[in-house]
Every structure is written in structure tokens, then in C-alpha cells.
Structure 1
Amino acid sequence: MLVQEVLNKIHKKELTIKELADLYEVSTRTIQMKIKNLGYEWNNKQSAYYYTGTDSEPLDTDFTGLFSKVNQKLVEKKQTNSEIASASEGNRNQEESITSGELDTIDILLQSPKDRSKRVYRGFYFDNDVLNIIERVPKSYKSELVNEALRKVFKEKGLLD
């Protein structure tokens, strides 16, 4: 879906930020930040986004392209599942092929929750590029994502079995 379509649907109240957030499996704040980063600002009185950026307006930009490849695959899967009114077993097979194919544990974590083990809280500073990736996932999965990413690196370095 193009940015122009998304903004028109929001203005016409055919689509909400919450529905977009659910579709891309991100927070509503993430959706709002993506739109703001494109140069748009929300006008409460008119219930619409207006372009305030300095570059040319990105109306023909693919909205899905603003998200990670994992979120893009999830959206494609959801769209395919809604278009194909097949039996639930067919949908399950399609979901399994996506999760078992080219996705690793971090990708799978971004798709579904995992049982949580006992944890210890520690505070760390993150660089902006790393933090932007962490901010893409829902709040309840952030620790899980960081743990899995570090676990993967530590296993590759031979520090974990």
C-alpha cells in the first residue's frame, strides 16, 4: 500500500493507526513515528496528516517498505491468508513454511512470543541504529529480542553452547 493510500484511508476513517500497528505487528507509536519521519504532522482539528517536510512529498512510497523484512513477510502472509479463504490447515502450512524457511530465531521471535525464563534487569546504552531496530518490536518482546540477538552472536563466537 502506498503512503498516499494509507493517509487517505486514515483521513476518511477507513483505517486507524491501531489497525496499521496490528497489521505490521508494531506499536501505534512506531506507526506514528514512521509517518512523522516521512515529513507528515498530525492536525487534530482536521483529523488528518499534512506534509511539512522540505523534500518532495513521498506519496508514491510503499508504506510496507518502511518496515523490516520480517514485518513485510508478516503483512504479506496476513494479506494472503485474508485473500485465500482456505481451510485452517492450509493457513497453518503456509505459516510453518514462513517460520521454518529462511527465518532464524530472531525472526521467529519477532513473529511470536516465547516462554520467558527468570531474568535480571540491567541498564545499557544503545547506539541509535541499534535502538531503532529494537524500537520496531512491541514492548513485551524487546528483552526477548536483545537476549536472542546476543545469544546468537555468543554462540557464533563459541562462548555459548
Structure 2
Amino acid sequence: MLIGEMLTKIMKEEMTIKELATMYSVTTQTIQRKIKKLGYEWDNKKSIYKYTGKSPQPLDVDFSTLFRKTPTISKDLSHLKGKNKKKGIGRSSTSDVVDVLLAGTKPPSKRVYQGFYFDKDVLSIINSVPKNYKSELINEALRKVFKEKGLLK
């Protein structure tokens, strides 16, 4: 994910520092330290990152290049083409909604809470997704299956 993209998502509250830390398997302090090292400082009053470093800003730098490990889930969806206007999700012929949700691009919507037991293999996939996307992933996966079975239109 590009730095500019990441900072915008943080400022719009579409992503948290904690989710980034989980994605890169580091602590929240490490994420904050990396952002600061890039020349950005958090302005509490305006809730934005201000660039205080030397010009030019590193907005087009891939944030994952600052870590030794690759992220658990790739959040760079620049390879997806087109948009589903109804849901606001980028898609290509090889990616469906479940693939996009696994990549963590759609903010969660309001849901009714319901608890279920999951098998360990299924739960490991669900837990690999940031917490804000888990319900959306499960809903879209079930919706896809239910449509294939003719239970939903």
C-alpha cells in the first residue's frame, strides 16, 4: 500500500494503526515510528498527518518496503479494474467480492450480531482479515453460496 493511500485511510478512519500493525506483524509503536521517520507528524487538533520532512513527500512509496516481512494480507488493490458502484468495491474478472474483502478494502456496515462455532481451518482464514472486515467477509461468502444455490437473488 502506498504511503499516501495509507495516511488517507488512517485520517478518514477507514484503517487503524492497530490494523496496520497486525497486517505487518509489528507493534503499533513500530508503525508510528515508521510514519514519523518518513517525516510525518500527527496533528491532534486537526486529526491529520502533517508533513514536516524534506521535499518531496514520499506519498508514492510502498509502505511494505519499510519492513523485512511481507504483510499478512496485501491491501494494494491497484491491480483491480472497474468499480461496482452499488458496493464501491474494485473488481476484475479474476477477483470476486470475497477476494476483495479478504484484501480488506471495504468499511464495515451495520449488522445484527449472531454467534456461531467455526471449524479451525475456516476460522484461521476469517482471523487473517482485519477485524473491521470479518463480518463483511462472512456475509459476502455466504451470499455468494446462497446465490449459487438459488436461495438469494
TM-score (norm 1): 0.46
Work out which of the two has the higher radius of gyration on C-alpha atoms and give 1 or 2. Answer: 1
Structure with more relative contact order (C-alpha pairs < 8 Å, separation 6 or more): 1
TM-score, normalising length: structure 2:
0.48
